Amino acid sequence: MLLGYNKLSYVDLHSGKVEVKDVDEKLAYGFIGGRGWAAYILFKELDNIVDGFHPSNVLVVATGPLTAVQFQSGGKTTFAAISPQTGIYGDSNVGGFFGYKMRKAGIDALMIKGASPHPVYLLVADGKVEIHDAEKLWGLNSQETDAKLLNEYGDCSVASIGMAGEKLVKFACINVDWSRKGMRHAQAGRTGIGAVMGSKKLKAIVAMGDKDVKVADEERLKEAAKKLQKMVRESPNYEAWRRYGTLATIEWSNKAECLPTYNFQKTVFEYADNIGGSAMEKVKVFTRACSNCIIPCEHVVRFKLNGEGEVGIEYETAAMLGSNLGLKSIEEVAKANYLCDYYGLDTISTGSVLAFVIECYQRGLITEKELGLTPKWGDVNTICEMIRMIAKREGFGDLMAEGVKTLAERIGKGSDAFAMHVKGLEISAYDHRAATAMALSYATCDIGAHHNRSWAITYDLEVGRNSYTEDKVRKVIYLQHIRPLFDMLGVCRFYWVELGIDPNVYAEAYSAVTGKEFTFDDLLFRSEKVWNLTRAIAVIRKGISIKDDLLPERDFSDPVPEGRTKGAKLDKDKFIEMLKTYYAVRGWDELGRPTYEKLVKLDLEEVARKLYGAS
């Protein structure tokens, strides 16, 4: 067995067969872990996968080599599959304690195929994976599921789906560790991986273990960890990050005029101060951290909704359920957030879907009779009812459960112009009409429009918001390599993003864990390799090209209505030229396909052969 790595488990839910195998060197050192493993495993299964909900789809749950070793922030897990939302590679990365416990159980990754004829859950423990009956759990929300499994197994971590996953809502999420004060409650939210679990009748995965991962050089790892901790504590942003977490970004985005408001119509929200970090502090009851982390950045607030509830709120949620829907208080946002968690819904996609429906109603494109209610900006009761309709696929909720892209196709009447998605994935919480690098980030993100791959808007503010220059292209590409690398390693990117950590410490830690000498550039090469692999998967599956890398028409036609950026909108011709520059710098052809030569240079010759045939 390779140092720094455990085992892989292959699970067939249809036959009930489970295998546990060693990690081979190609997977370990060529793709590192996490999303790198997920992408390569899915590529190898590509010929067999019909679609996101077909039993042939493969659900990959993968930790990273820096997860559950004595290195701060090492507690991340990737959930990946062919996305039911987009039809291409999709993943979502989650913190909390699940990856930590799975690694401690001796398993680094699960490769789950097939569909069970009845509800089941997986138990990962003592280097083994078992399939258990889950009939009594089916129909429960994640909080109830977590409580029952915690009661049965004790010291464990649980990843589970709620009603939305069971009902195959295309943006259903996965909840991890609900209502445990010592363990961060987190979600794998994006790309509908919760619905993939539902399609397989997989209600939950339980991980439990306390075995140490064998590393090559414990002393060197300790020194790297000390170095990281010192940089974290000496960062000028450390105390603010502990105090506010991501919610301070509400005030920042509002000031920078990029806060999505009323379905990305506006960029400034008049009630932003009521839903941001300062408002959160007034109602915060406690904080929670992920495993192996010294920064408790989940800030839990209390609210009343048929009794009292508690929920941790993040920026993306506060923006997409708050300003984007017109909710005017942190308590109202908390109610909507809680319901999304309760049913198992991605808050970003949910906020986008609801905002789109409200705007369609305002424009007279759909009626009160069709909807079964009267949607209004800022009406928390109606918004909560619409969340319930989506999760249960009741009435118009059945169509809303398909996502913005399908909604716009069904409603028609020009509504696609303000359906805020790219490749079927709803755009996350940054208006980008006056931020061309951020716009390029959304357009070219490998899973659809998501900020976590390349948060380039700060670079827009630094060098000029409305330019379409090559330096912006190169910045976006660099971010698309470094940020997803943290998902491969199994660590949190916030240490680098928010606290300015020297990233070379991650190469030191990886080298110490594995006994293989890697520089940070070596790791970035693997991340670039994975980026090209996921793009190749998109081309092979759906013929993705430049036509799919464009943004909604609103970005090009509807100028920002007010503020310092009033009148700003993207220039489509310049943006297309920016895309072509992006392709050229990446070594892709003019349609946005990685060239044969580029793939071979990245040690992806088998991918090149599949994409282009034998050369």
33: how many CB neighbours lie within 10 A of its CB? 29
Three-class DSSP category at 318: helix
409 and 424 Cβ atoms separated by less than 8 Å: no
Burial class (CB in 10 A: 0-12, 13-18, 19+), 319: buried
- Parallel, antiparallel or unpaired: strands 298-304 and 284-288: antiparallel
Report which residue type is found at 192.
G
pLDDT tens digit sequence for 497-554: 888 899 999 999 999 999 999 999 999 999 999 999 999 999 999 999 999 999 999 9
Report the distance separating Cα 397 and Cα 496, nearest Å. 40
Fold of 240-425: 1.10.569
pLDDT tens digit sequence for 86-106: 999 999 999 999 999 999 999
The angle, 0 to 180 degrees and rounded to 10, between the axes of the packed helices 330-343 and 380-392 is 10
Report the distance separating Cα 292 and Cα 527, nearest Å. 23
For the sheet containing 186-188, what is the strand order? Answer: 128-133, 120-125, 202-208, 157-160, 174-176, 186-188
Q: Which of 256-265, 279-288, 353-362 has the lowest mean pLDDT?
A: 279-288
Q: Which of 4-18, 161-175, 240-254, 266-280 has the lowest mean pLDDT?
A: 240-254
Report the distance separating Cα 368 and Cα 33, nearest Å. 49
Angle at 194 between CA 9 and CA 326, to 5 degrees: 150
128, β-bridge pairs = 125
Pick the CATH number of 7-208 from 3.20.20.140, 3.60.9.10, 3.30.1950.10, 3.40.50.2300: 3.60.9.10
pLDDT tens digit sequence for 319-352: 999 999 999 999 999 999 999 999 999 999 999 9
309, β-bridge pairs = 303
Question: pTM score, two decimals?
Answer: 0.97
Q: Dump the DSSP string for 534-601.
A: HHHHHHHHH---GGGSPPPHHHHHS---SSTTTT----HHHHHHHHHHHHHHHTB-TTSPBPHHHHHH
pLDDT tens digit sequence for 159-198: 999 999 999 999 999 999 986 776 778 999 999 999 999 9
Largest CA distance in the chain: 68
pLDDT tens digit sequence for 209-260: 999 999 999 999 999 999 999 999 999 988 888 888 899 999 999 999 999 9
Report the distance separating Cα 322 and Cα 380, nearest Å. 10
User: What are 310-314's contacts with CB under 8 Å, separation 24+?
Assistant: 310/179, 310/285, 311/185, 311/337, 311/338, 311/341, 312/184, 312/185, 312/288, 313/247, 313/280, 313/337, 314/245, 314/246, 314/247
Domain ranges of the chain: 7-208, 240-425, 432-500+519-612
pLDDT tens digit sequence for 584-609: 999 999 999 999 999 999 999 999 99
The predicted model gives 20-42 an average pLDDT of: 98
Residue 21's nearest CA partner among 31, 6, 7, 33 is 7
Instruction: Give the architecture (CATH level 2) of 432-500+519-612.
Output: Orthogonal Bundle (1.10)
